[in-house]
Every structure is written in C-alpha cells, then in structure tokens.
Structure 1
Amino acid sequence: MKSFVRDTLLRQRARLHELDALLSAPDVVDSMERFKTLSREHADASTVVEVFNRYLRREADLASATEMLADADMADMAREEIDSAQADMAQLDTELQQLLLPKDPDDERNAFVEIRAGTGGDESALFAGDLARLYTRYAERQGWQVETVSESPSELGGYKEVVLRVSGAGAYGRLRFES
C-alpha cells in the first residue's frame, strides 16, 4: 500500500473517532440537519475504516507468518498463510482505493424509472411488464422502496407505460445509466 493512501486511511480512522464524539454531543443532537450530515459522514467513514482494519489484520498475519518461516516445522504452513495474506491484502487494497474515490453527491438521491412499450404491440407491452418486475425485484433486494407513480396497463397484462419511483440509499447512482 502506498504511504499517502495509508496516511489518508489513518486520518479517516481518527476522523471516525472524532465523529463518534461529535455525535454524542448534546448540541449536535439538537440540530437535526447537523446530526444528519455527521451521521452520513460517520457511515461512510466506518465503511472505509472497517476495510482498513481488515487490511491491517491481514498485514499483521503476514508479518507473523514471515517470522514462522524460520521454524522448519512450520515453514509449509507459513508459506500458505503468506500466500493467503498477500492475496487478501491485494484485494483489500483495491477495495480501499475504490472506497477513497470521491463520490458524486447525486448518487444518494432517489430515481425515477420510466418504461415504455415500443413498437411490437402486445409483445412489447409484456416485455415492459417483465422489465418493471425486474427493476422492482432488484430494488427490493437492494433494500430500496418502489412506488408506482403512473401506469398504463395493456390488455394482456403488460404495460404500455409505467413510471416507478425508487427511493433508497444509492438508488440514483446505481440506476443512472440504465437505458
């Protein structure tokens, strides 16, 4: 891991402890807007710090396995542990770099999904119905709420047009490029 990434993660861990103290302060609890902002920052920071702590644990495992290489009886087990720790650390390093990328503020917004049947008559209306069910199930698996804003059903059970409102954390960020 690069030193500036490690420094950033250490600062993030310190900020998480600071946020814990701030969230328990009585003046923050009285201001709902400030409490909401700090809670969001705390949630983001805790995700990053959790992955960073796993990285540090695997780094410590790697160091102890390297020390065990000197013992002939434990050398094979130490090599396996070293390989496993290095693979885990590489994966966690990639995950940490992705978590540190700046986020688009619009990603947390709600989304509207508009589905319209194209040319093709009843078959396209049935496909639009299947597509609406697909997005609804996907949203439910993500823990989002789906509300049908408007619908125009066809005679055979599909939709000529349906508009869904998907609300939940990260809905717009995940659905923005669907077309």
Structure 2
Amino acid sequence: MGGYLRAMKRYAVFEGRASRSEFWQFTAVLMVIIFIALIIDGAIAQEASLDDKKSPGGIITVLVVLAHFLPSLAVTVRRLHDTNRTGFLVFLNFVPPVNLVLVILMCLRGTPGPNQHGPDPLALGGGTLTTAGLPPAAGGSPVAPQMAVAGPTRHDTIAELERLGRLRKDGHLSDAEFEVLKSEALTQARAS
C-alpha cells in the first residue's frame, strides 16, 4: 500500500525513479480498486435491470481508470528511469503484442546507485536494506556505518533520524524502511 500512496503523492511527476516495489504495489492496489469498481458497476446495472431502467453502465470503473491514468503513466516512466531507460518506452503499453516487453522491463532490477535519472529510490543493496546510496549525513558519509565503528553522540543520532525523516518525506524510503533504519540507529545509540 505504501508504493500506491507514494505513486499517488507524485501524481504527475515523470522525473526521477521508482522502485520495483513502488510500481508493483501501485499496480496491485489499482487492480483491486478496479475490481471493486467493476463489482459496484455490476450491482448498479443489475439493480437497474430489475427496475426496467437503463443504467449508465460502468461509470464508476471509468472514473477510477481516468483518475489513475496519469499516475499510472508517471510511475511507469519513473520505473523505466530506474532501469536507466527512456520514459518514452511507456508508449509500448499501447501496442498489444509488444507491450509484454514493457512488463518484462518492469520486472528488472533498477540500476544500483545513482543513474542519469536520479539517486537509487530505495537504496537497496543485494536485496537487503542498507544505507548505501542514501544521501550522506552532515558528517559526509552515511551515519549508520559510522555508528558501527565509533559510538554515536546524541547529536549524530538526532541528525541521522532527521535525515531518515527527510528521505521518507521525499519518497526515497517507505514507512517500513524508515522504521527499520530508525530502529537500527536507536539500537546503535543505546549500545554506546
């Protein structure tokens, strides 16, 4: 659900990158919403047919699809950017036999580290959450590795928590990733 909300917050932002999880969470939630809209439209049509009235047929589904058209294009373009490809490949979506290529591209791992479209969106390293690729803290390097070497001061911990908060606010970290990194920072601060 976090990926869906991040994509909707960046409703028409075609710049930057989107991770696989953001794209696929957005897609999964959108499919559920469309399915629910179809059920509602079916119930409305059935009710109208029982009353011998003509129903507006599928209006809820049409509204849902229209409301999600632009964010869907934007998250797809950002996902293509994450794999270091041009966003214009989104037009493959409109060519039925070729659109399977786009599905394959959406499944590929993003470029590790920054690329021409921006920083790594979730800073994933080898499938595990790390601080590699995250913007550095005030000291010039990510704080979590510093904390492992030398005990952090109270100021270091506060600076790290503020940095993580900014990353979450900017959409570079999901709520779950923020909680994991916050917990690590606090655990390391307590250990010193």
- Give TM-score scaled by structure 2 length: 0.30
Q: If each structure's helix is expressed as a fraction of its own residues, which one has the higher value?
A: 1
Larger Rg: 1
Q: If each structure's strand is expressed as a fraction of its own residues, which one has the higher value?
A: 1
